[in-house]
């Protein structure tokens, strides 16, 4: 049997595989990360690992899974160690990351998570719980306190299941014990992710214990950040390839691209690792960078996901290898998104977009269109609808953005262009399906039906005749001629 990656086998790895240069046994847990997925392990954990390599400090990471035990099951037997494979067409570099020193599974033992979060050595909580983990209304950014899981946590505060449930209860305990609060740093793809987080914590706290909201307002820092690195979910063939090089078994390597970026508001009141020495960019206002990334990278990703999937493409690289799609995405970014961005002097949007096209085309990443298509109801507002609103206000055309929205509608109907079922994953999937079934495959019925989902489209867009007409006409084209032809029609300026 092959031996497992872990503290005992680190020394046996081939020399080409980089390993932590610090003494992991001496690491205190200074950071709790909630949402222990591939993204964190290829992003913030790497900046922290870099910082520890350069100058040791009390910044070990405890990773918490809010849902299932898979990651703990994979990583606990490896003492938290895992391999990061950085891939492009030039090849693959492997590196073992050591920053993660503990893994917890919230549903198994919520008390252990609350204890860890209440521990005075913990000074920062970062999170990547995806858009839906915030229990908020995506159109307004506010906590949706009617959700059953939020009601559950308010009545069982010592057995929480949600992000706000864990954070607010542990902040309450810290206040009661006279322990300073931790900094709460959202690393999810939401605009103003710090502000959204602060709002959710305060609304929840007020419901839990009136007055706690004021204390949070006065004492808890929630810096916003823009995080960027493409990290597809790891496939079996990735695992096999990495393990063949390691010579030991890593049950959960992460595979990513060379590019990485982290821009954050520098408001970590409780200290932080010197991430800026490792390439992260502390700024006073992160909003322009968030808008740039969400509206260029993520908006393009969502359009590639829906329209590429419908056109029969499995991955992002495959989709943009089709010149029609590559030109469509370039035109979407240049003509419809860029004019609405307000960047600080010196920001190089032209270079950023050129780099994006190269990143999307990276043939060494198997980034599935289906993966990005997930959770559309949580993603569309910040990726496409914000730009659409601005353009409608300015009386500008929205053809490509509207095709993206129509692509989502065609996709969530749950049947592809050859009649095969689509496995639609979305917190609102049942509602979307019922609306779609009731409307039938007719653009003039399906579009208005889906636009009635106010958590996504708000109160304004469904009553904008220009928007409604643009979406119906795009959706009509999708039903009539299919995604590829609609993309081709809008591929050039």
Binding site for ligand CS2 (CB under 6 A): 189, 228-230, 297-298, 301, 371-372, 379
Return the residue nearest ligand CS2 (CB atom). 301
**Dist. CA 140–CA 103, nearest whole Å:** 33
Q: Specify the residue, 316 or 491, whose C-beta has the smaller distance to ligand CS2.
A: 316
Nearer to ligand CS2, 204 or 275 (CB): 275
Using the minimum distance from each CB to ligand CS2, give the nearer residue, 372 or 439. Answer: 372
* 83 close to 95: Cβ distance less than 8 angstroms: yes
Q: How far is the CB of 368 from ligand CS2 (least distance, A)?
A: 9
Nearest one of 178, 148, 182 to 168, comparing CA atoms: 182
* CA distances to 6, 19, 77, 251 from 74, in Å: 11, 19, 7, 5
CB closer to ligand CS2 out of 120 and 363: 363
CB of 146 to ligand CS2, least distance (A): 26
Query: Least Å distance between CB 221 and ligand CS2?
Result: 24
Structure tokens, 197 = 């987080």
Q: Which is nearer to ligand CS2, 37 or 462 (CB)?
A: 37
Burial state string for 167-194 with b = 16 or more CB within 10 A and e = fewer than 16: bbbbbbebbeeebebbbbbbbbbbbbbb
CA–CA distance, 175 with 171 (Å, rounded to integer): 6
- Angular region, 233: left φ>0, alpha ψ -120 to 50, beta rest: beta
Q: Which two tokens stand for residue 394?
A: 């300015």
**Closest distance to ligand CS2 from the beta carbon of 134 (Å):** 15
Output the smallest distance, CB 226 to ligand CS2, in A: 9
* Cβ nearer to ligand CS2, comparing 189 with 315: 189
**Closest CB to ligand CS2 among 228 and 426?**
228
Cβ-Cβ contacts under 8 Å for 209 (sequence gap 6 or more): 172
Q: In whole angstroms, how close is the CB of 259 to ligand CS2 at the nearest point?
A: 9
Determine whether 421 is exposed, middle or buried from the number of CB atoms within 10 Å of its CB (0-12, 13-18, 19+): exposed
Report the nearest approach of ligand CS2 to the CB of residue 372 (Å): 4
Contacts of 413 (CB under 8 A, 6+ apart): 422, 433, 436, 441, 446
CB 20 within 8 A of CB 53: yes
| C-beta closer to ligand CS2: residue 140 or 371 | 371
**Tokens describing residue 282:** 């502390």
Q: How far apart are CB 419 and ligand CS2 at their closest, in Å?
A: 26
């Amino acid at each position: 049997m092959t031996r497992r990656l872990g503290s005992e086998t680190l020394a046996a790895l081939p020399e080409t595989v980089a390993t932590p240069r610090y003494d992991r046994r001496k690491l205190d847990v200074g950071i709790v990360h909630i949402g222990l997925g591939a993204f964190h392990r290829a992003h913030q954990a790497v900046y922290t690992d870099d910082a520890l390599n350069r100058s040791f400090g009390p910044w070990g990471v405890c990773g918490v899974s809010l849902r299932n035990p898979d990651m703990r099951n994979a990583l606990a037997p490896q003492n938290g160690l895992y391999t990061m494979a950085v891939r492009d067409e030039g090849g693959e570099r492997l590196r073992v990351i050591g920053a993660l020193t503990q893994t917890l599974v919230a549903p198994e033992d919520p008390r252990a998570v609350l204890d860890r979060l209440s521990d005075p050595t913990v000074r920062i909580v970062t999170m990547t719980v995806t858009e839906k983990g915030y229990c908020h209304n995506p159109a307004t950014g506010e906590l949706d306190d009617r959700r059953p899981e939020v009601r559950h946590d308010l009545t069982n505060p010592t057995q929480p299941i949600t992000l706000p449930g864990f954070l607010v209860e542990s902040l309450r305990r810290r206040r009661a014990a006279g322990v300073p609060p931790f900094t709460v740093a959202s690393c999810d793809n939401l605009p103003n992710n710090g502000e959204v987080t602060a709002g959710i914590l305060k609304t929840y706290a007020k419901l839990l214990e009136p007055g706690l909201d004021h204390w949070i307002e006065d004492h808890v820092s929630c810096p916003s950040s823009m995080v960027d690195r493409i990290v597809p979910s790891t496939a079996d063939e990735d695992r096999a390839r990495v393990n063949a090089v390691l010579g030991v078994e890593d049950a959960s390597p992460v595979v990513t691209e060379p590019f990485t970026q982290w821009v954050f508001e520098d408001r970590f009141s409780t200290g932080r690792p010197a991430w800026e020495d490792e390439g992260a960019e502390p700024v006073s206002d992160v909003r322009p960078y968030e808008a740039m990334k969400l509206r260029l990278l993520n908006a393009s990703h969502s359009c590639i996901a829906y329209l590429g999937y419908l056109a029969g493409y499995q991955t992002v690289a495959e989709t943009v290898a089709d010149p029609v799609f590559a030109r469509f995405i370039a035109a979407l970014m240049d003509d419809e998104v860029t004019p609405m961005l307000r960047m600080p002097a010196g920001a190089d949007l032209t270079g950023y977009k050129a780099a994006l096209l190269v990143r999307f085309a990276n043939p060494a990443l198997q980034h599935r269109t289906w993966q990005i298509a997930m959770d559309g109801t949580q993603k569309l507002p910040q990726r496409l609808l914000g730009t659409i609103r601005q353009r409608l206000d300015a009386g500008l055309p929205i053809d490509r953005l509207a095709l993206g929205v129509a692509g989502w509608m065609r996709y969530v109907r749950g049947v592809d262009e050859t009649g095969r079922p689509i496995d639609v994953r979305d917190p609102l999937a049942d509602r979307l399906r019922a609306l779609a079934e009731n409307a039938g495959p007719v653009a003039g019925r399906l579009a208005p039906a889906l636009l009635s989902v106010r958590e996504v489209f708000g109160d304004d867009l469904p009553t904008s005749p220009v928007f409604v007409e643009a979406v119906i006409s795009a959706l009509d084209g999708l039903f009539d001629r299919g995604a590829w032809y609609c993309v081709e029609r809008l591929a050039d300026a």
